[in-house]
Amino acid sequence: MIKMLGLAIFVYSIGLSSGPSFFSSLKSRGVTNLLLALTLLTGLSVFIGVASFFFGFDASGAAGLLAGITTNTPALAGLLDAIQKNGGDHIEVMSNNAVVGYSISYPMGVLGLMIAMAVMQRLFKIKYEQETQQLGKEFPTGQPIVHLTLAVQNEPVLGITVRDLKHQHQMNVLFGRLRRNGNDTLCNWDTTFEQGDLVGVIGEEEEVARVAAILGQLTDLDLSEDRSVFDIRRIFVSNPEIAGKTVASLHLNEEFPVILTRIRRGDVDSMVSADTVLELGDRVRILARKKDMKQIAKLFGDSYEHISHIDLLSFGLGMGLGILIGSIEMTLPGNILFSLGFAGGPLVAGLILSFLRRSGPILWTLPYSANLTLRQIGLMLMLAAIGINSGATFLSTMLSSVRHSCFYQEPSSVCSAEC
């Protein structure tokens, strides 16, 4: 029971954290990723099947080897769930063999992956910096985000709105403060630049340098140091009413002159866009008037204590839905019963619910820290239960090679000592 509970918590938490990116990549590279996964899993399955035939492994041990060599703990849990349902009178033996196979091949899977990455990096001359820049268009990559001030000097950009400039030059930056004739305002989509304007630009360093060359040149002045009118503050998203909504849907500009510049989720800073979806636990960097900060903080919640709480209603409903999905049995050709089980059901439910984010008043997603904590607790419970059940079998299997080597040697003092 503890093992299955830990498994359900673990995979459901993974599903909740991976839903949006999963469906996003499914749209853009779904066919390619699916073919790659099927090809690799088919190749590994054939290899494990052939090796098991020659070395005399049983089916459960071979399946455990496959789960371990792919370092896929949920796959092992799914295997144990299947054995529990279909193992008959040999449930305990088959479960132990599966865990032993997994325990032996898991370290090899980790080391093999590290070696393969090192070889492929040299063979294909992989350049991580270029790949990071390309992925930055789809996912936050953790590249440092800077705030620099530039002086507008180039005539071709004068009188053109920020909207048109960003579209023409594919600028991936945010324009913050605008200082003109000693007065500070905030940029918006309809802002136009004049000769001598000072503009605060937020973005990755290389992109900011490119934008500076288009508009004019960088200066040593830092507009953010002047906080007499506009202030900068990091605010926690702890209000469940706005969690799961896009920045554009909040219509903040209709109430305040405000710019959301960055969002920090976990340990990764990323730029804010109109389509950015706010999640509980996010820290948003806000540029606004000092007198408006209190109202803005109230709107976002800004409570560290509140984001540490878990909505038991949504978490329990989601977990229950996942277990129900996993319990549905389908009959495949050959009268084979198939179900997603405790591994697949909560995972599918988590992916779908996190993609939906909310259903009316129910917010399905969890704060980042709470999700990570639940994931670790679930994994700990599952692996502890597996280890306690199968530890003795694993130890006896590892020591059996020493015993057998003694049995098939000529008696000697050294052999007797080893035995």
Contacts (Cβ under 8 Å, ≥6 apart) of 389:
3, 95, 96, 99
Q: What is the pLDDT of residues 87-97, one digit of tens each?
A: 677 787 888 88
Identify the pLDDT of residue 304.
Answer: 78
Cα(407)–Cα(419) distance, rounded to whole angstroms?
A: 9
Cα(350)–Cα(207) distance, rounded to whole angstroms?
A: 36
The first and second tokens of residue 158, run together, are 């004068």
Q: Looking at 36-45, 72-81, 364-373, which range is the least confident one?
A: 72-81
Letter string b/e over residues 220-255, b meaning 16 or more CB atoms within 10 A of that residue's CB = eeebbeeeeebbbeebbbbbbebbbeebeebebeee
Q: What is the pLDDT of residues 163-183, one digit of tens each?
A: 999 999 988 889 989 999 888
- Confidence tier at 138 by pLDDT (50, 70, 90): low
Can you give the residue ranges of every domain in the chain? 2-126+313-405, 145-306
Best mean pLDDT range from 113-117, 138-142, 359-363, 364-368: 113-117
Mean pLDDT of 42-47: 90
Cα(207)–Cα(404) distance, rounded to whole angstroms?
A: 65
The first and second tokens of residue 381, run together, are 């419970």
∠ Cα 91 96 97 (to 5°): 100
- Confidence tier at 407 by pLDDT (50, 70, 90): very low
DSSP string, 85-109: HH-GGGHHHHHHHHHHHHHHHHHHH
The first and second tokens of residue 206, run together, are 């290389």
Q: What is the pLDDT of residues 238-291, one digit of tens each?
A: 888 888 788 888 888 888 888 898 888 877 888 888 888 888 888 999 999 988
Using DSSP's 3-state secondary structure scheme, residue 22 falls into helix
Topology given in CATH for the domain delimited by 145-306: Alpha-Beta Plaits (3.30.70)
